[in-house]
Chain A
Amino acid sequence: MSEDSDFGSPLTRSDVRSRYPGLTLTSLFPPTSYKSHDLLPRTYQSLPRHKAHLIPVETFSEIFLFTVQDDPHSQTNLMLVCRHWRDIMLSTPGIHSRLRIYSGTRKEDIERFGRRWLLDVTVDGQDLSVDWRYKQYLNPVRFHACFMAAAEAASRWRSLALLSLLGGDKDLHIIQPLQHLESFKLDASCELGNFLEPLLTAITTTVTPRFTVMEIFHPDAVLHLVQPTHFRIFSSLTTLRLICRRMQNPVDILPCLHKLEIFEAHHLSLPIYSPGVNLPLTQILRVLHLKSVSIQWMEGRIFPALEECSIIFPLYADIFQSVYMPSCSILKYDSNNLRTLEHFHHPPLARLEVKCGQWRRWRGNLQLATLHRIFAAQSLTCLYLEIKCSERLLAYMLGLAPSLEELWMGLSNPHALSSAFLLAFAAGGRSTSVVPSSRAIAPLCRQLRKLHLHYKRWSRDTERNGLIPAFGAIVASHPAKEQTFSFRLSFGEGSELQEWIVHEPVERFDIELQGDRTFIGVASPHGIVPLSRASVDSDGDSLTGLEYPPLPRESEYIATDEDLELPIDYFFSFHSLKEVRMRKLDLGMRSNTQSSPDAPLFHTLKVLIVYASRLSPLAIQTFHKLERYQEGFASDVEEPGQGWLTEMPVCIRRSPDLLL
């Protein structure tokens, strides 16, 4: 494959300066040269015309190329100056431009790009960010035409990212050689259909040594590419990401990776390598992420450039010998057997992420103990730890990491660590009435700035109530004026994941709501401990996608400005709800729900603020402790005297929300 002479090495700033000493864009084209441009201020238009138009087109091209390389945003600005400049820009070879093909793209849009430009192409036919109003107009035929128009310029593609295609018509093909392709990314969810074969054939047969980045998250494509006949394309890669399914046969790919600096692989089956086999990547690899991949090949080798190493569920780890990583500062390891880490030789680490699946405490203790050497180096500033172990051992190990600034701990359930242990994270070991002083643990991690506790299971009994007051005490122990300490609590997994920020305890729960955050509160000896989380994402959509917001059942206080419609029985499961401040809540009742006079709500609620309420079905209910009640809009109100009364025997304040 010959290279197009139009697309030589990109100009550098020094190239231009050596060719044109003293030349700058503004010296060549002061504002007076833009006279013909309507958008320029009138003061400029009145100035004398400059002779910039006398400069040869080739010189313009070189300057434009340099300018765009220096500042990609200048591309549009230069094209808007005048038709002459626009034509020069469109004919200048080597200019890079982004071409995004999505459902709303038209063929004419594709044809507007310069015919000598290099294109960074992204194809996302099912782009979810497209305004829903346009989705009804999704047209596979038009999308196909756009893609094929772009494919006519495939020889000028610098990068290609295939995120999704549109429609059932996969009769796509690429005829042009991909001679300028440097990067290719294929998303896992991209259904290629019949296009898989021609696409990968085009890549494996026409790319040049320019091809340096390959990210394949599509298992079928990986299987196709890791055939020995295609190994040639791997030799120029500096970045390789392969996400596979479990493979039947090993792939002897490592010897082909001559220039690889970043390597990520999931479920890639590798053969057993003897120490004598030359693996060039070991000398230049900077970042290594492996999941369910053999690490036997690392045995006895030196990785002088490796800075970041992540190994999850390693295969062939038991037969392990020493691995030398003299530049590594970030290590992540997830395995039931952490003893392998004893064979990793690295300088003191700044960041360590360790997860161990042993579910018995004593087994976990043994695993945690193997990390002693790493902790004892006293270099850790960031630690992610998920090991079931005893509090005593954990306290000892954390005591070896006095510089820790960020700590994330994965815990199975609220019993995993006691309140007494957690209070050791209070700055200065502040004493608290939450636990007897005899059970207090010496202060831990005094430099801590970020603390995150993640519980896999946040159980449904009251065992958690002792924890949240402790969380509040930890936050309160850090001076608010420093504003440098943050404490996050999360629990659940997948769609049930909830993440909360723990705030300093307050006397009253009259939270000033900020944005779309939901606050809950739990009473503690130090006041009410508020926790908050974002209610909606940036588009205003619910974060959880659930019909009702998942709030912890031990919440005693709730405050949010989120638009919600909830049935009253949603609150029946809260066992000690005292205040509900939901100024945009439309409170109703499901037709098939029986009102439950014994629900804790009717016996605990003291403050109720809603936007609208349909309390008619609750007419026979009594809110025994409700003292304050506010509604902005009353609907479904029965004719007075026709229905039963809703009783609020101790209510002293009642108002509609006049300020809504």
Chain B
Amino acid sequence: MVDRNACLHTSLPRLATLKLPQVRELEVLVDAEEPDYLWEKYIAVNTRLSGLKLLSLSTTGEPSYFNDVPKILGSLPALETLVLYYRHLVKPYVTFFEVFILMNAQGTSEPIWEGQIPKVLCPRLESLQIEYISPTDQPELMPVLKSIVTLRAIIGSPLNSFTFYDAYPDKKWELIGRDGSFIMEEVIPAQSFKLDI
């Protein structure tokens, strides 16, 4: 019997062995190398990603596994809710969050040169939830987060909810006000995301 309290190791390859033509909500642990390769070669084939409305991604392994997350997100045009568990992501997070602003044609957050047509990641995204990061301990992150809120609203892909949750201590913040402006408001009670199965 496996120790139930042991570290979790749900592999992305499992998802690659399932045929899920109608999946709409997905929670995946990314702990395999080259996750974008698995995603593109198997998961995108067996799973109707164009219908995916909710995705929850986390990693308990190498932080580098998350480097390919933007490419994965690029294949999800209908995604409305994205939950990211960043427990092992190494600071600073600025680079990572920049991809949610605008991307160049190559799907990276490199500078957009004149003449290029910028695109936004997950254009239908309404809710972005970041877990296990506290925005208060990284002042340099604030301008980037504000840019995400502001720029996505300008180009017609506004977020309705942008939250950060940290379990140590149990705190949650909402970064979007009722009028769509960038704010920072504590949410009580602070609750982690849980997919309702």
Interface residues of A (CB under 8 A from B): 563, 565, 584, 586, 607, 609, 611-612, 615-616, 619, 628-635, 637-641, 643, 645-660
Contacts and interface: CB of A to CB of B under 8 A. Distances in A.
B26 A656 contact: no
B13 A633 contact: no
A270 B25 CA distance: 76
Interface stretch (B14-22, B103-111, B112-120): B14-22
Contacts of A641: 16, 41-42
A655 B17 contact: no
Contacts of B194: 659
B10 interface: yes
B197 to A, nearest CB: 5
A637 B11 contact: yes
Nearest to A655: B27
9 contacts: A565-B1, A584-B4, A634-B11, A640-B38, A645-B17, A646-B17, A653-B196, A654-B25, A656-B29
B4 A611 contact: yes
B79 to A, nearest CB: 14
Contacts of B197: 607, 609, 628-630, 653, 655
B188 interface: no
Contacts of B21: 649
Contacts of A609: 197
Nearest to A611: B4
A644 to B, nearest CB: 8
A337 B192 CA distance: 66
B8 A660 contact: yes
A658 B59 CA distance: 10
B2 interface: yes
Contacts of A584: 4
B173 interface: no
B19 A653 contact: no
A226 B149 CA distance: 94
A586 B1 contact: yes
Given A586-B2, A607-B197, A655-B26, A637 B8 contact: no
B135 to A, nearest CB: 21
* A628, A639, A652: residue with the most chain B Cβ atoms closer than 10 Å: A652
B23 interface: yes
A640 B16 contact: yes
Contact of B17 (A632, A637, A658, A659): A637
Contacts of B18: 645-648, 651, 654
B24 interface: yes
Nearest to B193: A658
Closest 3 CB pairs of A and B: A655-B27, A656-B10, A640-B16
Contacts of B25: 652-655
Contacts of B23: 648, 651-654
B179 to A, nearest CB: 33
B173 to A, nearest CB: 21
A634 B15 CA distance: 10
Interface in B151-197: 192, 194-197
B85 interface: yes
Contacts of A611: 2, 4
A632 B16 contact: no
Contacts of B85: 658
A647 B2 CA distance: 26
Given A563-B1, A640-B38, A647 B19 contact: yes
A607 B46 CA distance: 20
A631 B197 CA distance: 11
A656 B19 contact: no
A648 B27 contact: no
Given A612-B2, A637-B11, A649-B22, 8 more contacts: A615-B17, A616-B17, A632-B8, A645-B46, A651-B22, A653-B23, A654-B25, A655-B56
B4 to A, nearest CB: 5
Given A633-B10, A641-B42, A654 B2 contact: no
* B15, B18, B42, B192: residue with the most chain A Cβ atoms closer than 10 Å: B18
A161 to B, nearest CB: 39
Contacts of B8: 632-633, 656-658, 660
A274 B194 CA distance: 79
Contacts of B9: 633-634
A124 to B, nearest CB: 32
Contacts of B13: 634, 637-640
A649 to B, nearest CB: 6
Contacts of B17: 615-616, 619, 637-638, 640, 643, 645-646
